[in-house]
A and B are shown apart, each in its own frame.
Chain A
């Protein structure tokens, strides 16, 4: 029921119970400080259960991102729309020891394409902590722009609006993202982004 999505290096699959330890390691760490963490064991488990339940309730949700080569998980990416969220969000998290390899860009670009082209979304936002420079940089590499007029979740976040489906189809944004992803796979150039932590 939950589709499996592929990219050059990644396979995006439904989150399963056996992936929970990887999720827990990140959400109980400092890495989760911009996502309400670090969380204790109980809170982490409850959040993971909510991520799974979100799929059934909304019909979309967060995929577990696996490396095609080794099957290991590197993070999550997908859509997030719990109660109180003003709009459907595109979200991502990469485990701290997997950062800096372009996985968030590759996974998020893929899920956005799925939401736009397969699920008919006409727009999408990402709610980011203004201190989360890695994520803001990634949003900008994805072509998203700060939307000052849009509602935020609780005022402590900023809303970045992604390019529309039409903008992605008919501009250089998509080509630029594809080029950057290819540069990670075959690094002719150093990528523009690098992790702070």
Chain B
């Protein structure tokens, strides 16, 4: 069951869809595994992780966008999260991504992020996008750069602390 008004976005290998009840447990497992979700914002207990699931649903209602669940087109498995994030205190709307265990190294995050970026520019009408990456998260830096993003500045994020802001290519550069 859809919990939000999120659209369904297609790529060659992936489906990006809004959060559903069946996503609760995989997302909680991800948020409780600090080795995976440390760069995303890990939860210290199950209650906190559940709350994050709930607030992503609320984020969709408040802003009309949020994190999609990345679903594998062939198997239907949830592979991770990707979307646009902009809670109060964030410098600007952010293009974010994170993969669940076992889904890295297959180009999934790149494919999902590219599609979410297109959605932000085409459907949401955004004019620019950033990604916030904590220092040391080299995989995300590599992906941001592969997407064409450039490091802009380091700032203090209210949730993550010291954080690097990357600026993505604009709509004129990526929309055809």
B128 at the interface (CB under 8 A from A): no
B142 at the interface (CB under 8 A from A): no
Q: Is the CB of A56 within 8 A of B57?
A: yes
The contact string, 1 if C-beta is below 8 Å from chain A, for chain B 62-99, is 10000000000000000000000001111000000000
CB contact between A83 and one of B49, B57, B61 (< 8 Å): that residue: B49
A133 at the interface (CB under 8 A from B): no
CB contact between B159 and one of A42, A56, A82, A84 (< 8 Å): that residue: A42
Q: Is the CB of A84 within 8 A of B3?
A: no
CB contact between B3 and one of A20, A42, A57, A82 (< 8 Å): that residue: A57
Q: Is the CB of A57 within 8 A of B54?
A: yes
In the assembled complex, which residues on chain B have CB atoms less than 8 Å from the CB atom of A85? 47
In the assembled complex, which residues on chain B have CB atoms less than 8 Å from the CB atom of A47? 51, 55
In the assembled complex, which residues on chain B have CB atoms less than 8 Å from the CB atom of A53? 3, 53-59, 61
In the assembled complex, which residues on chain A have CB atoms less than 8 Å from the CB atom of B3? 53, 56-57
| Total residues of chain B contacting the partner, CB 8 A | 26
A1-33 with Cβ < 8 A to chain B = 17, 20
- When chains A and B are docked, how far (Å) is the Cα of A53 from the Cα of B62? 10
Q: Is the CB of A41 within 8 A of B88?
A: yes
In the assembled complex, which residues on chain B have CB atoms less than 8 Å from the CB atom of A48? 58, 62
CB contact between B58 and one of A40, A44, A52, A82 (< 8 Å): that residue: A52
In the assembled complex, which residues on chain A have CB atoms less than 8 Å from the CB atom of B51? 46-47, 50, 82-83
- When chains A and B are docked, how far (Å) is the Cα of A45 from the Cα of B58? 10
Output the least CB separation between A100 and chain B (Å).
Answer: 30
Report the tally of A-B residue pairs with Cβ distances under 8 A.
79
Q: Is the CB of A84 within 8 A of B50?
A: yes
B127 at the interface (CB under 8 A from A): no
Q: Is the CB of B28 within 8 A of A83?
A: yes
- When chains A and B are docked, how far (Å) is the Cα of A190 from the Cα of B42? 50
- When chains A and B are docked, how far (Å) is the Cα of A89 from the Cα of B152? 46
A48-107 with Cβ < 8 A to chain B = 48-54, 56-57, 82-85
Output the least CB separation between A30 and chain B (Å).
Answer: 20
B26 at the interface (CB under 8 A from A): no
CB contact between A46 and one of B49, B50, B87 (< 8 Å): that residue: B87
Q: Is the CB of A42 within 8 A of B88?
A: yes
Output the least CB separation between B60 and chain A (Å).
Answer: 8
Closest to B157 in A: A42
- When chains A and B are docked, how far (Å) is the Cα of A195 from the Cα of B145? 56
Q: Is the CB of B58 within 8 A of A42?
A: no
- When chains A and B are docked, how far (Å) is the Cα of A52 from the Cα of B3? 11
- When chains A and B are docked, how far (Å) is the Cα of A101 from the Cα of B57? 34
Other CB < 8 Å A-B pairs besides A47-B51, A50-B54, A52-B57, 13 of them?
A40-B158, A41-B89, A42-B87, A42-B159, A44-B88, A49-B56, A57-B21, A57-B24, A57-B53, A82-B54, A83-B47, A84-B45, A84-B46
Query: Which positions in A face B, CB cutoff 8 Å?
Result: 17, 20, 40-42, 44-54, 56-57, 82-85
Interchain Cβ contacts under 8 Å between A and B, 12 examples: A17-B61, A41-B88, A46-B87, A49-B57, A49-B62, A49-B87, A50-B58, A52-B61, A53-B3, A54-B58, A82-B50, A83-B47
